[in-house]
Amino acid sequence: MKKILFLLSIFFLMNSYAETTGFPDEYYEMRATTKKQDYFFDYLYPYIEHANKKILKDREFILKMRLDKHFSRKIENIQRLDLIAKRYKVDSIYDYKKLLFRVNIVPPSLALAQAAVESGWGTSRFAKEGNNLFGHWTYGQNGERGMVPLNRDPNATHLVRIFDSFEKSISSYMLNLNRTNAYISFRMLRSHFQKMKKKLSGLVLSQTLINYSQIKERYLKILKSVIEKNDLEEYDKRFYKNLKKDKNEIWDSLKI
């Protein structure tokens, strides 16, 4: 019953229009225990599932554009496809192969592990004041806001990006993995899993992100440890179970 009430409270928070930063106060008041770690993961998981489902809706749309000639001729659909292509940095709106290679999900276990590592379990200044869970930088382009890192090099100009919500931070993180050249190995292995009709493994895919951190191989070991010690692939199972429960075109778009 407590679990249900907790998840309901998260649902209402997600649907609130009020902008908040960081986790609820009760999280920061908790002692560093397994219970606190579980709170961290349970709190973020609904945002991650929601972000993935939004990606899958775009993926479903791309598949329909490729397969349905009448649907693909409508001006509003061409305009939507153009927006998706620009977002994912795909030059041609009709390069369906590249679009489907990029417009794809991130395993919840991987997103949760990186959020924990990059934000210091939500305790970093950037997470608490700017909803930045993944250490994303900005140079102030496109009106993006940011905070100056405390020990930034005098000649550096980067800022740590400020997000309006955790949901926007998570969406930006997924977009980063899906379109940045540094993470092509991640996308290639993900594509291989799906061609083999296998569900994605956050643990296996985590080992492709050697370019995510300056500490390289040590970062991969840390991610592996966080996923294994906290049994985070259970969240992957939950995600696929929820998709299968829906049993619609979104599920079919994964081809598994």
Domain count, the chain: 1
CA dihedral 249, 43, 40, 235 (to 10 degrees): -30
Tokens of residue 130, six digits: 């700017």
Q: Helix H segments across 88-216?
A: 96-102, 108-119, 125-130, 166-179, 184-195, 202-206
Query: What pLDDT is attached to residue 17?
Result: 35
Residue 46, in any domain of the structure: yes
Residue 154, in any domain of the structure: no
* pLDDT per residue as tens digits for the range 94-116: 999 999 999 999 999 999 999 99
Distance of CA 85 to the CA centre of its chain: 18
Residue 233, in any domain of the structure: yes
Query: What pLDDT is attached to residue 250?
Result: 62
* pLDDT per residue as tens digits for the range 213-251: 999 999 999 999 999 999 999 999 999 999 988 765 565
Residue 148, in any domain of the structure: no
- Gap between the Cα atoms of 133 and 44, Å rounded: 10
Find tokens 């890192």 and name the residue: 149
Residue 47, in any domain of the structure: yes
* pLDDT per residue as tens digits for the range 107-152: 999 999 999 999 999 999 999 999 999 999 888 888 889 888 888 8
- Gap between the Cα atoms of 163 and 127, Å rounded: 9
* pLDDT per residue as tens digits for the range 157-166: 889 899 999 9
The CATH number that applies at residue 244 is 1.10.530.10
- Gap between the Cα atoms of 105 and 33, Å rounded: 30
Q: Which of 126, 70, 59 is nearest to 96 (CA)?
A: 59
Residue 240, in any domain of the structure: yes
What amino acid occupies position 180? T
What amino acid occupies position 76? E
Which residue segment(s) compose the domain that 92 sits in?
2-11+34-136+163-251
Residue 147, in any domain of the structure: no
Residue 105, in any domain of the structure: yes
* pLDDT per residue as tens digits for the range 2-31: 555 455 555 544 444 345 789 999 999 999
